[in-house]
Amino acid sequence: MIDQALPSQWATARLTLHDSQLSDAPRLTQIFNACAYVEPWDPTFHPIPETELAQLIVDSLSHENVRASFRLQWIQPTLATEPVGYFHGSHHMPQPNVFFISMFVLHPDQQQLGYGREVIEGLAEQLRQRGFTALWLRVYLKNWPALRFWIGQGFTAIIKMDGDALHTVYSQASLILEKKLSS
């Protein structure tokens, strides 16, 4: 198994990614809550209080607890002063050499600019260099824009499907998708 996943700071052609600090919680909460329009398609996008995101940042910064593999990094255009999004995930979970993206958020005003694609390409390269073999994530079937995006980024293998037993207007179903990282 690999000891180190992502560096605390790394860059792509147009973006800089950093480990989040507690002082980032207000802005990252605003970014997340700006995406609440997605909640009917993906139940994880309900508005959250700043304290919830602050706890995720604390978990990300901790190197002594069970969640030591958890990482939350914000996304900032290189020439900007404010983050435009963030992602969080865990390395070696649910299995060795896999990075599971548990949340990926770009402010709605920053979507459709190629930032998401650029982050995923950079993340894949960072992990590939460290010996990881795959990226996994969960996507909800009602979230067609997300399905289109993730499949377009190479998340084409279905690892698992979860869903409500009965189909109703309020039912949810999701897929765990995989993107293989070739060397």
Tell me, yes or no, whether 166 lies in a domain. Answer: yes
Instruction: State the CB neighbour count (10 A cutoff) for residue 3.
Output: 7
| pLDDT tens by residue, 47-103 | 999 999 999 999 888 865 444 588 999 999 999 889 999 999 998 887 889 999 999
Contact 68, 62 (CB under 8 A): yes
Percentage of residues in the chain with pLDDT exceeding 70?
Answer: 94
Place of tokens 């940042």: 57
Tell me, yes or no, whether 22 lies in a domain. Answer: yes
- Domain total of the chain: 1
Tell me, yes or no, whether 91 lies in a domain. Answer: yes
Range of the domain at 154: 9-180
- Residue 66: predicted pLDDT: 45
- Residue 1: predicted pLDDT: 41
Question: DSSP string covering 82-143, please?
Answer: S--EEEEEEET-SSTTEEEEEEEEE-GGGTTSSHHHHHHHHHHHHHHHTT--EEEEEEETT-
Greatest extent of the chain over all pairs of C-alpha atoms, in Å:
49
**Taking the C-alpha atoms of 27, 32, 37 and 39 in order, what is their torsion angle to the nearest 10 degrees?**
-160
Tell me, yes or no, whether 4 lies in a domain. Answer: no
Structure tokens at 70: 């958890």
Tell me, yes or no, whether 25 lies in a domain. Answer: yes
Tell me, yes or no, whether 1 lies in a domain. Answer: no
DSSP code for 22: G
- The CATH number covering residue 25 comes to 3.40.630.30
Average pLDDT, whole number, for the chain?
91
Tell me, yes or no, whether 2 lies in a domain. Answer: no
Q: What element of type H or E holds 57? A: helix 50-61
> Which segment of 85-89, 98-102, 129-133, 167-171 scores lowest on mean pLDDT?
167-171
- Residue 183: predicted pLDDT: 60
Beta bridge partner(s), residue 137 = 101, 177
Nearest by Cα to 158 from 146, 181, 142, 174: 174
**141-148: average pLDDT:** 95
Tell me, yes or no, whether 97 lies in a domain. Answer: yes
**38-49: average pLDDT:** 95
